[in-house]
Structure 1
Amino acid sequence: MASIARTPSVPARGPRNTVGDTGEDTALDLAVLRDRARGALLGLAVGDALGAPAENMKPSEIRARWGRITGYVAENPAGTDDTEYAIFSGLLLARHGSALTPAHVETAWHAWIADRDEGPFRGAGFSERGTLENLRRGLAAPISAQHRHAWSDGLAMRAAPFGVFAAGRPVEAARLVAIDGSVSHDGEGIYGGQAVAAGVAAAMAGAPTVSVVAAALAVIPDDSWTARSLRRAVAVAHRGERAVRSAVVIGGYPWTDLAPEAVALAFGAYAAADGDFREAVLTAVNMGRDADTTAAVAGALAGATQGARAVPPDWATAIGPARGSCLPEMAGHHVLDIAELLLPGEAGKWARHPAAAPEREAYALATIAEAAP
């Protein structure tokens, strides 16, 4: 894989309504943004690791095995493909910013995944496999997204970095994530990613829970399956996780990675907890289904709302650099480093500075592909 000698600066973004221009307010706002950015991506990874053992399970099966999950139940908790694909999209976004194009995304898929020895590729969803098959056949976006699982939650699981980058600008977050998704998803799969990206962008700006949900709904068609499911989930969220699950789960359907279902479960968990990080993530985990993704999304939303300080320390410290178990090229990257790269230039400056701690310096000099064609 091609690499560059330094981490590129994030391109100019245009007006922001979350960061002041000068003075003490700017420093304060940047500190708040950093905490929320770190909370969003750390929350994603924590939710992913907490939910992974419960993936594809029913609540009754979860209770029979663990009672109610209240923390890690795996011996060595780690993020799955959800975390590694979020890192993938975060690095791509840090490279191109608002200038991101489908060609950049397609080139990155080839450079980082399709044209390389994919390794075990454990945990990857059907949408990713379908995309890779099409890319390896020489199909380009958006044709590469024409496979049987273009409606999956594979874009939603990697959407949070776009909300971090476009903090306070949900429409821009939705635009950018749709560009990312054009290679791998279509229709409801795109809408699910847009809802998550917009929700995180609103939460990054300090929006209350109800406004975060409204921002997500505002960027997707009112009559879409995703919007209908999301509205049903949040309407009954005050009644708890059983009501949320009953409102949106497609009973008897064998696949749990439906974007309209998974995104609605995640927002329902977030709304039921009124943005509280611990409760949002555990609610998502204990509902089962695609629990790693629903908990990752709920964790990203709640982490952006409350910041990294809301993540329980024992949960946070268990998250290390990505292992590359799904995407070998993502091994060694930490979600907190991605969060720094996506912040405005001055806020993320330390992560790129030669005097940074050795592991940060190694990260900053590491593998961001020259994805521009």
Structure 2
Amino acid sequence: MPRDALSLAETRALAALQGLAVGDALGMPAQTLPRSEIAARYGRITGFIAPFDGHPVSHGLSAAQITDDTEQTLLLARRLMSTPDAFDDAGWAQDLLDWEAGIRAKGLADLLGPSSKRAIEALLAGTPPEETGLRGTTNGAAMRIAPVGILEPAKPARIAARVARTCRVTHNTGEAIAGAAAVAMVVSCGLDGMGFDAALDPALAAAREGQTLGNPVGEPDMAGRIALSLTLAQTGDPEALLAQIGSSVASRESVPMAFGLLALGKGDLWASLLMAANIGDDTDTIGAIAGAMGGATGGSLPDTAISAVEEANALDLAPLASALVTLRDAA
């Protein structure tokens, strides 16, 4: 469908998925590496590049290819569309296991994260789904939550509840739910035509709602961590963010970092995603989260970058975005 035939919500939904994929692909060759090694291996990443031979996670991938962040986002979108009025915990767990089996069959190493893996194994061993994710504080929920933001109207309590229900199998903690709820809220606000700055207060409200819905382990105040990151971004220095926020797989670091880098970019989404690619550690996930929020709230990317990622991964995102918006309109 031509872009000029899409509604605003469809345009923003598509941009969210495209931004997520671009941020993921930019960060792919640097994921898990400290900043010093990124600089030693690549200099400064300024576009899509292949990982070095023997990369601990990304080996076997080519320039502009995506990782688990985008693939699990699309997996969740399809699961949500298959049962829009409910959520099948066992079906979702099987989706993730089948996905991982496919990755292994390709000889790739970007597999399920630690929280997801432990939780799914517990579920299959008979642990109730309400209990399997009670220790999951990593960013697996936030990295793939954009479809919930596309699907759900921009109401903090409703977003938080849907996020909690969607991620309870793997990330049923206040830290993870709050972080993912903040991300989903920004995406949802974007579909209503809001910019990033205007979406921040609703996002913090959603984080506070989400904080109360999961097991109280890990970070007790994700809204405060995000607010701190936004304050630090006012210095214009990514080093200040890195020093006080961090960029690990923990939700308390990667989610606020994504917010901070978007604020640093001041509307230049490409600049924000390049900062994510060079920030160190969980570069692909930080880029994916920032790309989803930035795309949804009107940030633009070079058409050549979008085309490169779509072609390298055989992605056709427009039908999926439109289908999710249709469900949003029905809700």
Q: What residue is the counterpart of 2:324 in the other structure?
A: 342
- Contact 1:275-1:305 within 8 A present in 2 as well: no
Q: Distance in 1 between matches of 2:99 and 2:199?
A: 39
Give the TM-score taking structure 2 as reference length: 0.82
Are 2:43 and 1:57 equivalent residues in the alignment?
A: no
How far apart in 2 are the matches of 1:191 and 1:260?
9
> By how many angstroms is 1:57 displaced?
2.1
Residue equivalent to 1:233: 229
Q: For 1:303 and 1:45, locate their aligned partners in 2 and report how far apart those are by CA, in whole Å.
A: 10
Task: Return the offset for 1:333.
Answer: 6.4
Indicate conservation of the 8 Å contact 2:142/2:255, yes or no: yes
Q: Which amino acid aligns with 2:322?
A: E
Is the CA contact 1:83–1:158 (under 8 Å) kept in the aligned structure 2? yes
* 1:260-298 deviation per Cα after TM superposition (whole angstroms, max 9, x unaligned): 100011000111112322122112222122111100011
RMSD after superposition = 2.7
Aligned counterpart, 1:280: 272
Unaligned runs of 5+ in 2: 51-61, 212-218
Q: Give the corresponding residue for 1:157.
A: 143
- Kept in 2, the 8 Å contact 1:144–1:183? The answer is yes
* Contact 1:56–1:288 (CA under 8 A) maintained in structure 2: yes
- What letter matches 1:69 in structure 2? I
Cα distance in 2 between the residues matched to 1:347 and 1:136: 35
Q: Where in structure 1 are there 5+ consecutive unaligned residues?
A: 1-27, 251-255, 324-331, 349-373
- 1:345 Cα deviation after fit: 6.0
Cα deviation code 1:42-65 (max 9, x no counterpart): 111111111111112222322222
Q: In the alignment, which residue of structure 2 is the partner of 1:15?
A: none
Deviations 1:295-325 (A, max 9, x none): 0011011111126xx22122111223896xx
Amino acid at match of 1:320: E
Mapped contact 1:114–1:135 kept (Cα < 8 A): no
Query: Where do 1:84-233 residues align within 5 Å?
Result: 84-97=71-84, 99-101=85-87, 104-110=88-94, 112-114=95-97, 118-121=101-104, 122-123=109-110, 124-147=112-135, 150-187=136-173, 188-221=175-208, 224-233=220-229
Q: Which secondary structure does the structure 2 equivalent of 1:142 belong to?
A: helix
Aligned pairs (5 A) from 1:291-330:
291-306=283-298, 310-320=300-310
Distance 1:127-1:117 versus aligned 2 partners, 3 A rule: closer
AA at the equivalent of 2:19: G
Cα deviation digits, residues 220-243 of structure 1 (max 9, x gap): 238834222211110011223112
Output one character per residue of 1:11-30: Cα deviation in whole Å (capped at 9) or x when no partner. Answer: xxxxxxxxxxxxxxxxx996
Equivalent-residue separation in structure 1 for 2:15 and 2:264 (angstroms) = 19
The structural deviation recorded for 1:167 is: 4.7
Alignment partner, residue 35 of structure 1: 11
- CA deviation after TM superposition for structure 1 residue 94, in Å: 1.6
Does the CA-based 8 Å contact 2:179-2:251 persist in structure 1? Answer: yes
SS at match of 2:280: coil
How many residue pairs were aligned? Answer: 300
Asked if 2 retains the 8 angstrom alpha-carbon contact of 1:170 and 1:199, the reply is: no
Q: Deviations over 1:60-116 (max 9, x none)?
A: 32222222211111243211111111011111222233x223xx1332323x24479
Corresponding position of 2:253: 261
Q: Bigger CA drift: 273-282 or 48-57?
A: 273-282
The 3-state SS of whatever aligns with 1:155 is helix
- The offset of 1:215, in angstroms, is 1.7
Query: Contact conserved, 2:89 with 2:129, CA < 8 A, in 1?
Result: no
Q: 1:52 to 1:346 in 2, by over 3 A?
A: closer
Q: How many Å separate the matches in 2 of 1:321 and 1:87? A: 16
**How far does residue 36 in structure 1 lie from its aligned partner after superposition?**
0.6
**Distance in structure 1 (CA, Å) of the matches to 2:181 and 2:268:** 22
Give the structure 2 partner of residue 326 of structure 1: none
Equivalent residue of 2:226, what SS? helix
User: Which of 24, 29, 34 is residue 48 of structure 1 equivalent to?
Assistant: 24
In the alignment, the residues of structure 1 paired with residue 83 and residue 268 of structure 2 have an alpha-carbon distance, to the nearest angstrom, of: 33
The structure with more helix, counted as a fraction of residues:
2
In the TM superposition, residue 335 of structure 1 has moved relative to its aligned partner by 3.5
Instruction: Summarize the Cα distance change of 1:51–1:142 in structure 2 as closer, same or farther, 3 Å threshold.
Output: same
Structure-1-length-normalised TM-score: 0.73
Q: What is the rounded CA distance, in whole Å, between the counterparts of 1:321 and 1:314 in structure 2? A: 10
SS at match of 2:17: helix
The 8 Å contact of residues 106 and 140 in structure 1, kept in 2 or not, is answered as: no
Aligned position for 1:247: 244
